[in-house]
Structures are given as structure tokens and as C-alpha cells.
Structure 1
Amino acid sequence: MTLTALQKLDLADQLDELIIKAPTVKGLDLLDLNDQMEAIMLQLGYGVAPAPATSEPAPAPVTEPQPEPVKEDQPVPEVVTDFLAGKFISQAQLDFVETLRRVGDYIGVYLELDDARQQTASWIAASGLAA
């Protein structure tokens, strides 16, 4: 149903009157008033969503790449050995954060969380950021 401009103005005036009246109404009368407001808003086209033009499938969620499973004969990655040896203690803050991200894939595999905590504490002490 298409409304003319005069019909839209008339409905808008009715809605304005109901909105002005709303703060003074209580209880069941307020529920009736809200129903009337909702009916007018639906007539004006508010709350009515158009149907999608085409039904395209939703895009597949992007997943982050997972590290490959560890094989028993696989050597310890160089980033882990260097991290445990303390070679990253003198890095700048952003570089150290990137190193932590790279090493984080191997926590629980080639090093423990406590090892990462100790190296991080060493980096904090060496960089002078300790409180």
C-alpha cells in the first residue's frame, strides 16, 4: 500500500500526538498507546525491512592459520631456541611483541608458559619498563 503525502503527514501528526501523550500515561493505557504508535509507524514504513534482492550465500568465516602438528623427529624451531637463549631481550617493544606472537604458537609444545613468562620478565627488566 502506497501512501500519499497527505496521508503520511496525517499519520505523522497522529504519531506526534501519541508521543507527546506517552509520558503522562501509565499502566495498561501505556501498552495500548505503544500499540497505536507501533501501528502508525508500520503504516509509515518504519520497521519493515525490504526483502533481500538476491539470496547470496554468506561468506565463509576467515580462520587464522594453525601451526602444523609437531612430529617427533621435527627439530625445535629456531625462534624458540633463540627465545629461550635470551636473544630477544634487547629488542624494541613492538618487535618483542611480534616475537611473543611467533613463540606463542609453540607454547605447550616446545616451551612452557612459565618459560615465556621468565623471558618476558627478563625483557621488561632489561628495557627498563619495570614499575
Structure 2
Amino acid sequence: MALTALEKIRLGRQLNPLILDANGATGLRKITIGRQINALLIQLGYGSHTAADNTTPAANETTPPATANDSEPPEPAKPEIVAAFLNGDYVTQDSDDFTQTLTQLEPYLDIFLTMDDVLGGASDWLREKYPEAA
């Protein structure tokens, strides 16, 4: 089910205070907030990220080389913010900066990265910042 823009805004407004509250929370409150954040991320379409999503193809599975008569234009280079996000460079940011990074990634969604990529980065950030919630 695709969310409308208003539904995304509503869920985003619910998510932002939770991320801010998680920064100062301790113990069970932090775990509860982490679960609420995860539930909202899933509602926003980020899905669940598992290790199986990161599997690499077998050595005998190769992509055929591009030929001169391929009609597709070459893929543009990934923006620096996308490459850094996919490399995990943002997992140590505080919650405000990480929220801003997610907002900056929005124009590149479905072009240079997928919702699963964003969810994976968000999950990695949550595990790094709140290990007891993971």
C-alpha cells in the first residue's frame, strides 16, 4: 500500500519527537521508544532489514559485460552523500543530524538507493546509538 504525502508527513511528525526523546531516555523507556521508532519506519515503507538482504551473488553468477549496442545510457555517478550513507559513515551522528541526513537523501530515493538501503542505514544507526534497543 502506497502512502500519500499527507500520511508520510503525519508519520514523520510522529517519528521526529521519538528520535529526539530517545537521545535522553534510559533503560526500558529507551527500548520502548526504539520499538516505536521501528514501527513507524516500517509504516513509512522502510521494511525490515536482515543480514540476508546483504548477500552477495555466488562466484559463478556473473553479469555479462556491456556491449557497444546496449541502448541504456551509462548510470550517473552516485552523489557523495549517498555513497557515504551506504558506507555507514553516518551511524555515529546525533539524532538531529541523522534526521537531517535522511531528509537530504530523499531526492535520491529510488534513483541511487532503495527504501531497504535507508532502513538498513537507520537500523545500523539505531544499533550504534542504542545497542540495548537492538
Interval containing the TM-score (normalised by the shorter chain): 0.3 to 0.5
Give the number of the structure whose residues are more often helix, by fraction: 2
Task: Give TM-score scaled by structure 1 length.
Answer: 0.43
Q: Which has the higher contact order (CA 8 A, sep 6+)?
A: 2
TM-score, structure 2 as length reference: 0.42
